[in-house]
Amino acid sequence: MLDTTEASGMVMNKTAEEAGALAKAVSTAKAGHETKIAASKVSVFYGDKQALFDVSIDIPERQVMAFIGPSGCGKSTFLRCINRMNDTIDICSVKGTIEIDGANIYDPKIDPVLLRARVGMVFQKPNPFPKSIYDNIAYGPRIHGVAKAGSAMDEIVERSLQRAALWNEVKDRLDQPGTGLSGGQQQRLCIARAIAVDPDIILMDEPCSALDPIATAKVEELIDELRAQYTIVIVTHSMQQAARVSQKAAFFHLGKLIEVDETDKMFTNPSDQRTQDYITGRFG
Amino acid sequence: MSDTATQGTGRRAWYEPDAKLKRRHAADRRLRAYGVAAIVFALAMLMTLVGTIAITAVPAVTQTVVTLNVEVPEGAVDASDPRGGSYQKILNESVARIFPEVDTPREIRELRQLFSNGGQYALRDKVVADTSLIGRTFEITFPLSDIGDQLHKGVIDRDLPREQRRVSDEQIGWYDRLVEQGRISAPLNWGLIFNADSRFPELAGLWGALVGSFYALLICFLVSFPVGIAAAVYLEEFAPKNRFTDLIEVNINNLAAVPSIVFGLLGLAVFLNFFGMPRSAPIVGGLVLSLMTLPTIIIATRAALKAVPPSIREAAIGVGASRMQTVGHHVLPLAMPGILTGTIIGLAQALGETAPLLLIGMNAFITAAPDSMFNPSTALPTQIYIWADSPERGFTSRTSAAIIVLLAFLVCMNAIAIYMRKRFERRW
């Protein structure tokens, strides 16, 4: 149960700024991975209600960044800002800037359709299209005009499924509906679908919450492999998962970014008391 | 708590029901009995209704016909213009040959009343189709008139005194002679389906009404299906949620509840009086019906779109589909079974709708099936209305038969709707 009072909310405003500054410091300090996504003072409103308060964070390329925090803390909301998924919600408005490779994605001249081709997304519940496995993968490349039907498309489908470690399981039944696969396979199919349009970034919103431990292990293994090519941001409720798959972690609380750090450090020696409390299971 | 209660009484074990539980179960059983009773009642009413109509319709299943030997003299019909022949005269002469003793004008008139007015047209069509018949004697079969038909079917009671009977003693005598000679038979009444309307029940059929209803429904579908889907997709997927769209939504729901006769008045004022479209034409009927069907289709489509899980939309948007692509490629196909079901139910409603068609004149008396959707015509329900209003006895059974035809079409359409829903239903 969240027992945070309004009084502590005031303190948090201050710490959020500190955390933002801290995030910058950390990302520049750890060289080798350049910043892929740079968010600055991102606030999100649902109607009159503010869901996210001045979040500033730098996400490095070719690493896995985990967003953790209790339910309703705004981590999913922030994740959905990165591919402008929130645009589909009428009452939602976003302030601040998010830059991908130096371009602000909320710039009016950015087309969200192109953005989402570069920033793939995997959702909490596996949501394959009720079409064949082949068509699930081929849909993205087809609408973006990457490949027409035929051998070029076959190649994309095979490559995507192989990268998602699903090829061997489904290669003989590509024409069967994607909805007929098991939950874990469906989620890997969704990952393959996201990969098929050749994005730089993959956003994952609690991708394993609907899966059993074995399927979860497979997806985590896959995430670890994909890290070599893609920048991955994953929202998770599982501390163990965050510890297993991520190199960096960000802790959100009540719509504010509290702390960003190397995952190892955050889980052993967090700098904020609330992070400590959350990780050790005292709330959330 | 139950623990202490049991201990308090000290006698009853936990599994023994108390009075309260018995009352609860009794209430359950009572409720179930009410439900069953309601269904039985509804079924009984339905059976009574359909049964009555079906029994009344039975006489219309057959039509009494007479077969006469007709001689077409060379002079009576011109081979180069066979349509101009005086066929009624030829028929009258054939009848006179069978009943040579009938000679007073009154008797001759009564005798001719036994035969349908359609006989001359049957003869004409036969001769026109084959002019080599001129100058020869051949058999022709055509309907008896309404009174002959009623006599044959026993609807007219011969034992009634003459004053209360619609046929004279002589007419009964002549009819019996025709029966003795084997000239009377009663084949299946295909004319009921394939004839156009007529003043004479023995000739009246539903073809004009069927064609008229078909055209009207076609127009109704062509207008209301695309417009309804477009409106629903816009409202559901694209429109901002504000006061104005709320107002539109409320009004669409209200439109669905507007009495159909009001749509008829609207059609009369707008389509006929303002745009000057043809009166009684199926195109106007279709347009009026489409106004009525639109809200049904919009509401059904919106419900079907709402039923598509948001995860499918997210999936499509997530791989970079535009909103239109999301709707066109994923949402709409998944909603299609529901949309089609709603559409067919809307069309079935439109098929049975009478009031608006009355106001735009589709209850006119028209003796030919329309060639196009711009020609005057009736529709099935208005045809039933016209026939129900006609005094001839023969129309009683024909009205019921027409109702059966209408009901059959409605049942078929609903069956198609159910089939489509089962066939295209997708699971995810």
Q: Where are the domains of chain A?
A: 6-279
Q: For position B9, what pLDDT does the model report?
A: 55
Q: Where are the alpha helices (DSSP H) in chain A?
A: 6-29, 75-82, 112-118, 133-143, 151-163, 167-170, 183-196, 213-226, 239-245, 263-268, 273-279
Q: Which of B376, B401, B370 is nearest to B388 (CA)?
A: B401
| Cβ A59 vs Cβ A7: under 8 Å | no
pLDDT at res. A28: 46
**What's the ipTM?**
0.81
CATH: 3.30.70.360, 3.40.50.300, 3.10.20.30, 2.60.40.10. Which one for A6-279? 3.40.50.300
For residue B320, give the nearest of A130, A144, A179 by CB distance. Answer: A144
Which pLDDT value is given to residue B178?
A: 92
Using the predicted structure, report yes or no on whether residue B424 has a pLDDT greater than 80: no
Residue B307 has pLDDT above 50, yes or no: yes
In this predicted structure, what is the pLDDT of residue B103? 86
Residue A13 has pLDDT above 50, yes or no: no
> Residue B425 contacts by C-beta under 8 Å, 6 or more apart in sequence?
B337
Q: Is the pLDDT of residue A217 over 80?
A: yes
Give A139's contacts in chain B (Cβ within 8 Å). Answer: 316, 319, 321, 329
B10 falls in which pLDDT band (50, 70, 90)?
A: low
Amino acid letter for position B11:
R
Chain B residue numbers with beta carbons less than 8 Å from the beta carbon of A125 are 311
Residues in Cβ contact with A226 at an 8 Å cutoff, skipping those fewer than 6 apart: A163, A191, A195, A202, A232
End-to-end CA distance of chain A: 6
Of A85, A130, A144, Cβ closest to residue B318 = A85
Q: Which SS3 state, helix, strand or coil, does residue B428 take?
A: coil
d(CA B317, CA B327): 10
Query: Can you tell me the distance from the alpha carbon of A146 to that of A144, in angstroms, rounded to the nearest whole number?
Result: 5
Pairing relation of β-strands B65-71 and B137-143? Answer: antiparallel
Average pLDDT of chain B, as a whole number: 90
pLDDT score of B425:
73
pLDDT tens, residue by residue, A132-166: 999 999 999 999 888 777 888 999 999 999 988 89
Contact B312 A127 (CB under 8 A): yes
From the candidates B243, B317, B319, which should be mutated to test the interface with A, based on the most A CB atoms within 10 A? B319
CB A212 within 8 A of CB A157: no
- CA–CA distance from B224 to each of A154, B20, B293, B347 (Å)? 41, 56, 7, 9
For chain A, give the mean pLDDT: 86
SS (H, E, C) B291-319: HHHHHHHHHHHHHHHHHCCHHHHHHHHHC
Average pLDDT over residues B344-373: 91
Which residue did the predictor score with more confidence, B42 or A9?
B42
Cβ–Cβ gap B320/A197 under 8 Å: yes
Task: Output the pLDDT for position A26.
Answer: 47
CATH superfamily, with its number, for domain B207-424:
MetI-like (1.10.3720.10)
Integer angstrom CA distances of residue B129 from B81, B82, B98, B121, B368: 12, 9, 26, 12, 20
Encoded tokens for B301:
């489509």
Query: Which residues are bridge partners to A95 per DSSP?
Result: A43
User: What is residue B134's predicted lDDT score, i.e. its pLDDT?
Assistant: 86
Residue B427: closest CA among chain A residues belongs to which residue?
A130
What pLDDT is stored for residue B115 in this prediction? Answer: 92
- The pLDDT confidence band at residue B426, using thresholds 50, 70 and 90, is low
Helix H or strand E encompassing B142:
strand B137-143
Count the neighbouring beta carbons within 10 Å of the beta carbon of residue B126: 19
Provide mean pLDDT across the span A96-114.
Answer: 91
H or E stretch covering A33: none
A144-153, B101-110, B176-185: least confidently modelled range:
A144-153
Instruction: State what percent of residues in chain B have pLDDT above 70.
Output: 97
Chain B interface test: which of A111, A143, A200, A206 (most B C-beta within 10 Å): A143
Tell me the shortest Cα–Cα distance from A60 to chain B, in angstroms. Answer: 22
A-B CB pairs within 8 A amount to 67
The pLDDT score that the predictor gives to residue A194 is: 93
Of A52, A42, A188, which Cα lies nearest the Cα of A106?
Answer: A42
The band of B27, judged by pLDDT with boundaries at 50, 70 and 90, is very high
Least confident piece of the model among A155-164, B68-77, B167-176: B68-77
* Residue B81 confidence (pLDDT): 83
The mean-pLDDT minimum among B77-81, B111-115, B272-276 falls in B77-81
* CA distance, residue B34 to nearest chain A CA (Å): 42
Whether pTM exceeds 0.90? no
User: Pick from A120, A143, A144: which is nearest to B318 by CB?
Assistant: A120
Alpha helices by DSSP H, A30-93: 75-82
Q: What residue of A is the nearest CA neighbor of B321?
A: A113
Q: Which pLDDT band holds residue B392 (cuts at 50, 70, 90)? A: confident
Residues of B with CB under 8 A from a CB of A: 240-241, 309, 311-323, 325, 329-330, 334, 426-428
Contacts of B311 in chain A (CB under 8 A): 123, 125, 127
Q: Identify all chain B residues contacting A127, using CB atoms and an 8 Å cutoff.
A: 309, 311-312, 314-315
